[in-house]
Amino acid sequence: MKIEQRSFAPASGWKIRSGGLAGLAPQLVLAFGGRHLLANSASLDEVRRAYPGAHLVAASTSGEITGTEVTEDGLTVTAIAFEKTKVVTAATTVKSAADSFTAGRELAERLRGPELAHVFVISDGALVNGTELARGFNEHLPAGVALTGGLAGDGARFEKTLVGLDETPQSGRVVAVGFYGTHLKTGIGSAGGWSPFGPERVVSKSAGNVLHELDGQSALSLYKTYLGDQAAALPGSALRFPLCITPQGAGGQPVVRTILSIDDKAESMTFAGDIPAGARVRFMRASYEDLIDGAAAAAGQTGTGAAPELVICVSCVGRRIVLGQRTEEETEIVRETLGAGPAVTGFYSYGELAPSGGTGACQLHNQTMTITTLRED
């Protein structure tokens, strides 16, 4: 596997960041950047000229990751030439969240084939229900094929997101990349670093991603009680106090959920993922150090016995907002944990897709660092 990285900044133009393709033609190019930059085709036209035979997967972000550096409203490009791995891409469009499960099912069925080893998906982050998208993939991918990826971002604006495959990125697009062959070795990690506090409660009334009651009481009133003085700053202060959700059933894996909005009149809270009735819930909090330790834990889970060649990080916009000027400490700890050798790319997202703890079915996460590593043997 050969990898070349370059980046574009409106003020300074293009520059080669690392690596080289050694004369090989890349099959895949990942381009992560600011929404307004991607909406202008000029920057991606330059990428297509540089790598004319590659599939170009592009997504808007809430921050771009290259190595340990985190930028905003620029463009980071990673061109990958696989020597022993086949790459197949597929894309579909959703018009509303109700189409999300169908989109996952359709893409999984289109990618099914001999020696499918891994699927990486990048989805619209504004229209898609990530929980249902993951379920559609999980129920239709072959057994043993893992799914990772994330939902595109739009800075802290939360207006609309763009995703594209060999095209000008658009709203509502979902792109999946299938990797095939026995020579590809992947590693997966996901961790948040958040610590639960207070008693465990049960979701007694909810509808999709809207939570109404916990233990028969107003969920919003309970949440405000725990936040104390910080309740006045809702929903912004909720980024520091997400919820841990554990679905019903022996196999239910806990996930972190971020609050997007509150409705004082209805006494409800809207989350960035589904909150199923009967799930167990605890409030969570974290220090800066806890979040950075979470990124280290995610990197540590990816170990496959050999150093990776490519690391793809998908972390949450909420983590970036909470960490502020210390954001790059989580990319630095990933580099420290995995070593200086691999190329590192990725983005800050509106939702992360990965199995919990690196195993099991893919889930939608919030406020989580997720990592996918690739190498060819």
337: CB partners within 8 A, 6+ apart: 296, 299, 300
Q: What is the pLDDT of residue 299?
A: 96
State how beta strands 351-355 and 362-365 pair.
antiparallel
Q: pLDDT for 283-319, tens place per residue?
A: 999 899 999 999 999 999 998 778 999 999 999 999 9
**SS3 breakdown of the chain: % helix, strand, coil, rounded to 5?**
25, 40, 35
Beta bridge partners of 219: none
> DSSP per residue over 346-371, as a string?
EEEESEEEEEGGG-SSEEEESS-EEE
Q: Which CATH architecture has domain 195-285?
A: Beta Barrel (2.40)
Q: What is the pLDDT of residue 251?
A: 65
Q: Tell me: pLDDT of 214 over 80.
A: yes
Average pLDDT over residues 220-225: 92
Q: Tell me: pLDDT of 28 over 70.
A: yes
Q: What is the pLDDT of residue 192?
A: 94
Across 146-150, 262-266, 293-297, least confident range: 262-266
Cα three-residue angle 153-156-161, rounded to 5 degrees: 30
- Assign 260 a pLDDT band (cuts: 50, 70, 90): confident
> DSSP per residue over 42-102, as a string?
HHHHHHHHHSTTSEEEEEE-SSEEETTEEESSSEEEEEEE-SS-EEEEEEEE-SSGGGHHH
- Assign 156 a pLDDT band (cuts: 50, 70, 90): confident
Q: What is the pLDDT of residue 315?
A: 98
C-alpha to C-alpha distance for 118 and 374, rounded to whole angstroms: 10
Average pLDDT over residues 170-177: 98
Cα three-residue angle 344-136-161, rounded to 5 degrees: 50
Q: What is the pLDDT of residue 42?
A: 86
Q: What is the pLDDT of residue 236?
A: 80
Across 40-44, 199-203, 278-282, 349-353, least confident range: 40-44
What are the start and end residues of each CATH 2.40.30 domain in the chain? Answer: 195-285
Q: What is the pLDDT of residue 40?
A: 85
Highest mean pLDDT among 16-25, 79-88, 188-197: 79-88
Q: What is the pLDDT of residue 250?
A: 54
Query: Nearest-CA neighbor of 77 among 46, 122, 118?
Result: 46
The amino acid sitting at 321 is I
Average pLDDT of every residue of the chain:
94
* Residue in the structure block whose two tokens are 């990826």: 149
Give me the percent of the chain exceeding a pLDDT of 90: 81
What is the helix (H) or strand (E) element at residue 18, kind and residue range? strand 13-19
- Assign 249 a pLDDT band (cuts: 50, 70, 90): confident
Token digits of residue 281: 């819930």
C-alpha to C-alpha distance for 92 and 105, rounded to whole angstroms: 11
Asked if residues 348 and 96 have their Cβ atoms less than 8 Å apart, the reply is: no
